[in-house]
């Protein structure tokens, strides 16, 4: 915990190998008995317990995201065998994927949310204090879309995303601890969901004195007002859509840093006061093709000693860890497209797989003391996943003869299946992506006498 230089020390050491804990020890560090107790308290089965109880159901759901396999059936066979090997003295779960999906379908979502809240609490105890910069905890927010199968139910209930002809999609908005790149909380919605509304709903999960870091898409008076009410701060990139007011005339080409007022017209008409903030200009770095575009950042942290322009620039560069998280989730965990074909199973698969990624990154990270400072060092996600799969292979070798034969029969049955497709597949035209254009500078306007009078009236009313 400290200034930006101490956090940067932890960032440079992130690529080094850490003291790796075993799969079961690392998992039990975050899935503690208290966390399991919270999940069991939220679980109230309506009928008598089946072979799929809560613990094996969630264990297999998480392990399916970590295991290797080209299909959902192959991953299920490996995940079930790993659970049986890790819990030899407990009741064995069912051995069919259909039974597992039926049990997962009956799992209430409050059980998963209780488990997520417990894991988030354990992560906060271990990492939050060590990631603070002058008392502020940088947390990035961004969103992405996940494709789903083109089943009739998903096409009817989810529909397409913004582009015509696209597959059914769900929208994921995630909060990520910086600079560690560890997911903190998230929310799912339809492919056409509003990410600003997702962020407002995620505000109650923020730790104390958080600094929300976001790109130019997160622009809105009501959003910033909600962040301030949540006793948090924001650091958001500005674009030409933003109109900011200054008390003195300034030249845009010579602007470096200064106080501005964000006061949209509809908020002025409602009599709401302006938001006082600092506007920071970060010069674009030199690259092979010339200089990159300047980055304009707006923050409500008015104290330069608490958040300097140099610290703000470094924190915003860390925001790309959020993009790296989505890359790991889609490519490394193979979640570019989900498997489930019903909406209820899509939600449970997405929640379980993202929880698996959160536990994977948390198990790969650790906090170390260096003098008077605490530095968080993290291993690469790919290396951590390979180590977990190595532990899975060791557990599979510890299976008894009968259970190992059952596992081999399940794999042989899955790999020997042939695709029986009766209908002719139709090639669909996929929507094209547009070239990215960097945001333009915000518009700075001078406060007129009339606007100053309205500002004084709104401040007096507030």
DSSP-derived secondary structure for 176-242: EETTTTEEEEEEEEETT--HHHHHHHHGGGPPTTEEEEE-TT---HHHHHHHHHTT-EEEEE--TT-
Identify the pLDDT of residue 8: 44
Does a structural domain hold residue 352?
A: yes
Does a structural domain hold residue 227?
A: no
Question: What are the φ/ψ torsions at residue 361 (nearest 5 degrees)?
Answer: -70, -35
Identify the pLDDT of residue 197: 95
d(C-alpha 313, C-alpha 290), whole Å? 19
Comparing C-alpha atoms, which of 412, 91, 440, 445 is closest to residue 241? 440
Identify the pLDDT of residue 208: 93
Query: Which domain, by its residues, includes 86?
Result: 4-215+319-398
Identify the pLDDT of residue 3: 62
Does a structural domain hold residue 73?
A: yes
Could you tell me which residues are beta bridge partners of residue 147?
A: 169, 337
Element (H, E) at 461: helix 449-461
Does a structural domain hold residue 75?
A: yes
Could you tell me which residues are beta bridge partners of residue 395?
A: none
d(C-alpha 211, C-alpha 67), whole Å? 35
Tens digits of pLDDT across the chain (462 residues): 556 655 543 443 343 334 445 677 778 889 999 999 999 888 876 655 578 899 999 999 999 999 888 889 999 999 999 999 988 888 889 989 999 999 999 999 999 999 999 999 999 998 898 899 999 999 999 999 999 998 889 988 987 776 677 889 999 999 999 888 899 999 999 988 999 999 999 999 999 999 999 999 999 999 999 999 999 999 999 999 999 999 888 888 888 899 999 999 999 989 899 999 999 999 877 665 556 788 999 999 999 999 999 999 999 999 988 888 999 999 999 898 999 999 999 999 999 999 999 999 998 887 554 555 555 666 788 888 888 888 888 888 888 888 888 888 888 888 776 655 555 554 555 566 667 788 888 988 888 888 888 888 888 887
163: CB partners within 8 A, 6+ apart: 431
Q: Is 274 within 8 Å of 262 (Cβ atoms)?
A: yes
For the chain, the helix, strand and coil percentages under 3-state DSSP, each to the nearest 5? 45, 20, 35
Does a structural domain hold residue 138?
A: yes
Number of domains in the chain: 1
Q: Is 411 within 8 Å of 77 (Cβ atoms)?
A: yes
Does a structural domain hold residue 259?
A: no
User: Mutual orientation of helices 33-42 and 109-123 as an angle, nearest 10°?
Assistant: 160
Q: Is 128 within 8 Å of 306 (Cβ atoms)?
A: no
SS3 273: coil
d(C-alpha 246, C-alpha 258), whole Å? 9
Identify the pLDDT of residue 462: 72
Alpha carbon dihedral 198, 202, 204, 207, in 10-degree steps, equals: -150
> Radius of gyration (Cα) for the chain, nearest Å?
25
Does a structural domain hold residue 14?
A: yes
d(C-alpha 9, C-alpha 12), whole Å? 5
Comparing C-alpha atoms, which of 395, 10, 312 is closest to residue 182? 10
Identify the pLDDT of residue 20: 47
Does a structural domain hold residue 40?
A: yes
d(C-alpha 65, C-alpha 329), whole Å? 10
Identify the pLDDT of residue 398: 87
Q: Please report, for residues 12, 61, 447, the alpha-carbon distance to residue 378 in angstroms, rounded to integers and kept in the order given.
A: 10, 25, 48
What is the value of pTM for the model shown?
Answer: 0.86
Q: Is 280 within 8 Å of 312 (Cβ atoms)?
A: yes
């Amino acid at each position: 915990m400290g200034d930006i230089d101490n956090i940067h020390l932890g960032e440079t050491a992130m690529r080094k190998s850490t003291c790796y804990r075993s799969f079961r020890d690392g998992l039990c560090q975050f899935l503690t008995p208290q966390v399991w107790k919270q999940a069991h308290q939220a679980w109230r089965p309506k009928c008598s317990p089946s072979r799929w109880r809560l613990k094996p159901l969630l264990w297999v759901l998480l392990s399916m995201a970590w295991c290797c396999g080209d299909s959902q059936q192959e991953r299920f066979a490996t995940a079930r065998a790993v659970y049986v090997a890790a819990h030899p003295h407990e009741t064995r779960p069912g051995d069919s994927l259909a039974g597992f999906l039926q049990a997962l379908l009956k799992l209430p979502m409050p059980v998963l949310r209780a488990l997520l809240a417990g894991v988030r609490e354990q992560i906060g105890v271990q990492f939050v204090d060590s990631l603070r910069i002058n008392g502020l905890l940088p947390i990035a927010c961004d969103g992405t879309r996940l494709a789903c199968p083109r089943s009739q139910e998903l096409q009817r209930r989810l529909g397409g995303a913004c582009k015509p002809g696209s597959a059914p999609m769900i929208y994921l908005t995630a909060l990520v601890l910086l600079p560690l790149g560890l997911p903190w909380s998230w929310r799912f919605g339809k492919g056409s969901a509003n990410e600003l509304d997702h962020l407002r709903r995620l505000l109650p999960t923020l730790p104390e004195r958080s600094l929300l870091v976001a790109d130019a898409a997160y622009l809105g008076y009501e959003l910033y007002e909600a962040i301030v009410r949540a006793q948090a701060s924001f650091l958001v990139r500005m674009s030409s859509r933003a109109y900011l007011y200054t008390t003195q005339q300034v030249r845009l080409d010579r602007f470096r840093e200064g106080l501005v007022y964000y006061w949209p017209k509809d908020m002025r008409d409602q009599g709401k006061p302006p938001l006082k903030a600092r506007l920071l200009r970060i010069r674009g770095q030199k690259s092979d093709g010339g200089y990159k575009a300047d980055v304009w950042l707006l923050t409500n942290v008015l104290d330069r000693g608490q958040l300097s322009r140099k610290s703000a620039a470094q924190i915003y560069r860390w925001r790309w860890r959020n993009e790296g998280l989505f890359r790991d989730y889609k490519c490394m965990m193979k979640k570019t497209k989900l498997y489930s074909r019903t909406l209820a199973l899509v939600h449970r698969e997405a929640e379980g797989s993202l929880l698996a990624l959160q536990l994977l990154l948390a198990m790969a990270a650790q906090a170390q003391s260096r003098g008077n400072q605490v530095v968080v060092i993290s291993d690469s996600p790919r290396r951590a996943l390979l180590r977990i799969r190595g532990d899975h292979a060791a557990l599979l070798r510890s299976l008894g003869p009968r259970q190992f034969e059952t596992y081999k029969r399940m794999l042989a049955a899955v790999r020997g299946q042939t695709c029986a497709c009766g209908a002719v597949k139709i090639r669909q035209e996929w929507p094209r992506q547009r070239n990215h254009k960097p945001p333009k500078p915000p518009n700075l306007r001078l406060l007129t006498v009339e606007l100053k009078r309205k500002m004084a009236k709104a401040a007096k009313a507030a």
